[in-house]
Every structure is written in C-alpha cells, then in structure tokens.
C-alpha cells in the first residue's frame, strides 16, 4: 500500500488549496493508498522518509520548500498547482484542474530535473534581483489572492517607471569576472514567466545541467521594455543594453540584498553563490 504525503500551502494563490483535501483523499482511497496531509510548516524528515510520494498543493514556493526533503530521501514530487503563478507545473504541462493533475501523478511519468543551490537554499525555477525581485517581493499578498498572476503584470508596469540600477560584481564558472551596472538580473532554471506562453528563454531546459542568466542594464522604461520584449520573442543577444549567457555556476559579491527564490522573498547578507545540482529530483510530468 502506497503512502502519500500531501503538503499544502493554504495561503497560496487564491487559497484554492484548502478545497483540495477531499478530492485528493477520494482519489487515493480508490487507488488503495494512504494519504497524510500536512501544512507547509509541517513537512519534516520523519514524515518525508516514510512516504513513497510527496504531493505539493500550492505554488512554486511550495514545491521549493519540499525539494530539500525530496532530494534527501530520494522521493518523487507530484504537483497540484494552486499558487499564483504555477510556472514549474506549466513547464511540466500539469493541468490546474485538481483531478486532472492527480491523473498525471497516477500515470507515473517522471522527469529528473536540475535544482539550483542558492547559498544554503534551493531553487527549481528562478532567482531574481533588482526589477524582477521588486515585482515578486513588493506585490501585496492580498492583491495576489484577489487578482492572481495579473497582479504581477500591474506591478511590473509600475516598477518599470522607477527603475533603479545596481552594480553587480560577478564571477562566472569560477574564473570569469565581470562588473555590470544593471536594473535586473535573473538566474533561470525554467524560463517561462506566464504559463508556457511567455518565456525569457524558449530553449531553457530543466534537465540540461545549466541555467540561463539575463542582465538588463537600461534605466529608461521604454528601452527596458523594448529589450525585455526582444528576450521574450527569442531575439536575445548580448549588447550595450543587455547580457545573456548560460552557465552552471555564478557568484556575486554582496553585503545585503532582497531577492526572490521561486517567488518567495529572501534577504541575503552574505556573498551569493548559485550552482546547478544536475538531475537532483524526480517530478511527475505530463509529456
């Protein structure tokens, strides 16, 4: 008899996770499996090690919280997308309908994906600094609960009108040093930014051992949006206004910064190192 650990984030997205319990329990009862449901703060070494499968009910941040446990005990992750953005599940082509997402898990098809290690934290999606961080970290949760992903679009327009530049001192692949004055720096394991319709890198893969780095330098809002649109329409190139490259390791000098890791606000007071852990965790997928 399979043991299923269900990890729920009741505050994710429009709080739809709280309606998932009965659907999940009924589904696995029919499969002769045992469900244990815990809140996001209730996941532990003990209940993770005993489970055969971990299911997250929430958004990208919920998956992020479960990843260290899944890696430690080599447990596959199933995703029920109930968050604001649900970008990882979109990349894996998992439906937002709870019943259909459960059917994806039941089919059993999995993909071993890379995980980014950000100092002592982990990321499966992306880490953002500057403009990208402002959008994620300064959009009120009440707006996200009410308007969902559209709240990020509104915040994106507002923050673009007051762009701030910051000097980033970077070391790429442990030996290539560069300093750049920029308004936005994004490190992406998955490039999609709105479902699978908008992406900063259409060729960005979850299992290639590398991540994509995007640096936008311009402060003028019009030039910023022009450069950003070129990235979205896969016309990206390194020039005086932007930089793009792939790597498996990048370091950044830092005294203090606010960034986001998979949509969750983080305050970092030490130097930052981001590196790939290739094929680190199994996730159920729909392709």
Domains and CATH numbers, the chain: 3-108 (3.40.50.10330), 121-277 (2.60.200.40)
- Between the two ends of the chain, the Cα-to-Cα distance in Å is 27
Distance CA 116, CA 126 (A): 8
pLDDT of residue 170: 97
pTM value is 0.87
Distance CA 143, CA 152 (A): 9
How many Cβ atoms sit within 10 Å of the Cβ of residue 93? 11
pLDDT of residue 38: 94
pLDDT of residue 22: 86
Nearest CA among 45, 71, 41 for reference residue 58: 41
Q: What is the dihedral of CA 118, 123, 128, 134, to 10 degrees?
A: -110
pLDDT of residue 100: 96
Residue whose tokens read 């290539």: 176
pLDDT of residue 10: 73
Q: What is the mean pLDDT of each run of 10 residues along the chain (287 residues)?
A: 88 65 89 91 93 94 94 96 87 93 95 97 94 87 73 80 93 93 93 68 83 92 82 73 92 94 91 97 95
pLDDT of residue 106: 94
Contacts with 156 (C-beta within 8 Å, 6 or more apart), sequence order? 135
């Amino acid at each position: 008899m399979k043991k299923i650990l269900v990890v729920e984030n009741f505050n994710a997205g429009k709080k739809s996770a709280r309606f998932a319990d009965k659907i999940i329990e009924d589904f696995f009862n029919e499969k002769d499996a045992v469900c244990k449901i815990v809140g996001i703060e209730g996941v532990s070494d003990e209940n993770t090690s005993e489970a055969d499968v971990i299911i997250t009910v929430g958004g990208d941040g919920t998956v992020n919280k479960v990843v260290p446990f899944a890696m430690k005990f080599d447990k596959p992750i199933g995703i029920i997308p109930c968050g604001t953005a649900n970008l990882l599940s979109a990349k894996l082509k998992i439906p937002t309908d709870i019943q259909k997402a459960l059917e994806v898990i039941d089919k059993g098809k999995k993909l071993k994906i890379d995980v980014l290690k950000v100092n002592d934290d982990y990321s499966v999606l992306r880490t953002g600094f500057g403009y990208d961080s402002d959008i994620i970290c300064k959009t009120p949760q009440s707006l996200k609960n009410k308007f969902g992903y559209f709240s990020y679009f509104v915040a994106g327009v507002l923050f673009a009108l007051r762009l701030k530049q910051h000097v980033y001192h970077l070391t790429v692949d442990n030996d290539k040093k560069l300093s750049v004055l920029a308004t936005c720096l994004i490190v992406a394991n998955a490039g999609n930014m709105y479902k699978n319709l908008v992406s900063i890198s259409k060729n960005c893969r979850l299992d290639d051992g590398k991540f994509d780095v995007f640096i936008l330098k311009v402060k003028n809002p019009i030039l910023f949006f022009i450069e950003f649109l070129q990235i979205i329409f896969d016309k990206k190139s390194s020039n005086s206004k932007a930089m793009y490259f792939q790597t498996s390791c990048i370091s950044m000098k830092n005294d203090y910064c606010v960034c986001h890791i998979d949509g969750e606000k983080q305050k970092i007071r030490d130097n930052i190192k981001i590196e790939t852990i290739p094929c680190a965790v199994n996730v159920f997928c729909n392709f």
